Amino acid sequence: MVSPAIALAFIPFLMTLLIRYRYYFLLFWRAVILRKVQDYLTGLSREERAFQYVMTHSIPGDPENILSTFDAWCSHSEYLSNVGPEKGKILERLISENVPLTVLELGTYCGYSALRMARRLSPNARLYTVEMDEGNAALAEKIIRLAGFDEDTVEQIISPSDVVIPHLRERFEVDKFDFVFMNHWKRCYRRDLQLLEDHNLLQEGSIIVADSVIFTGAPHFMQYAKSCGKYSWKIHRTHLEYFRHIWDGMAELTFVGLK
């Protein structure tokens, strides 16, 4: 049995941990504990709860308002791993600067980042967004259409990314992608990048943006991007979505050609 004196000696240490990592504890509370409680009480997933809020409080046909409604929910109610407003603005800027005609998104989730990109596309551009979770894909489809984007602008593909990528050319008649946004499972980043290379879906100058390469990180992806000689790269230092005290980052790669 631990003596009271020893127990008391640990109090300053525990307090130091709580103070130093308080934002990570808050993230754990909102993303895990609160989620499980609300799942039990409502019988809905947090994505479904967010969807209901957005459908109730946003203005149809207004992407800016829909994004702001998402941000309000995620900031004040429950945490969703959307790309968020800070990283979303970087994503939009890169779309505007590069003016891609063919865009691939890996990880639609609730449709938030698809809206960010779609509203900056040129009139003749098209976004293909891939989501493996059928429930999330159904919600995202409604959000994207609510914002006013039709299938000629945003086409959703419901399937695992490693199943989709090898068949993109034959199924969707896409020759090359000018812009790729990765926001799905971090462990899949390197695999899917190499699949895009293997199936000749990138061209010189193609931009690949990968979210959350600092938190939670994608070390194998970054090691490959830095060492393979096929990309120039840089990191956009940002914060975790809806947690301005937790650092995160987005990687921007430019394809310079296969060796």
Residue 5 has what pLDDT? 61
Residue type, 139: L
**What is the C-alpha separation between 194 and 180, in angstroms, rounded?**
13
CATH number at residue 237: 3.40.50.150
* Structure tokens given for 179: 């812009």
Cα–Cα distance for residue pair 155/121, rounded to 1 Å: 13
pLDDT at position 15: 65
pTM of the model: 0.93
Domain-located, residue 20: no
Range of the domain at 228: 84-255
Could you give the CA distance from residue 207 to residue 205 in angstroms, rounded to a whole number? 6
Residue partners of 146: CB distance under 8 A and separation at least 6 = 54, 55, 58, 60, 61, 66
pLDDT profile of the chain (259 residues), mean per 10? 60 66 89 94 96 97 98 94 96 98 98 98 97 97 97 97 96 96 97 98 98 94 96 97 95 88
- pLDDT value at position 224? 97
Given this model, what pLDDT does residue 257 score?
Answer: 81
pLDDT at 16: 67
Tell me whether residue 110 is in a domain: yes
Residue 67 within any structural domain of the chain: no
In a domain, 70, yes or no: no
Question: Whole-angstrom Cα distance, residue 48 to residue 212?
Answer: 23
d(CA 118, CA 140): 13
Q: Does 201 fall in a domain?
A: yes
36 domain-assigned: no
Number of domains in the chain: 1
At residue 235, the pLDDT reads: 97
pLDDT, residue 189, reads: 98
User: Is the residue at 213 inside a domain?
Assistant: yes
Sequence-distant (≥ 6) Cβ neighbours of residue 20 within 8 angstroms: none
Cβ contact 57:76 at 8 Å: no
The backbone torsions φ and ψ at residue 105, rounded to the nearest 5 degrees and listed phi first, read -115, 130
pLDDT, residue 14, reads: 62
What letter represents residue 74's amino acid?
A: C
Q: Which pLDDT score, from 0 to 100, does residue 38 have?
A: 95
Neighbouring CB atoms inside 10 A of 135's CB total 11
Q: Does residue 163 lie in a domain region?
A: yes
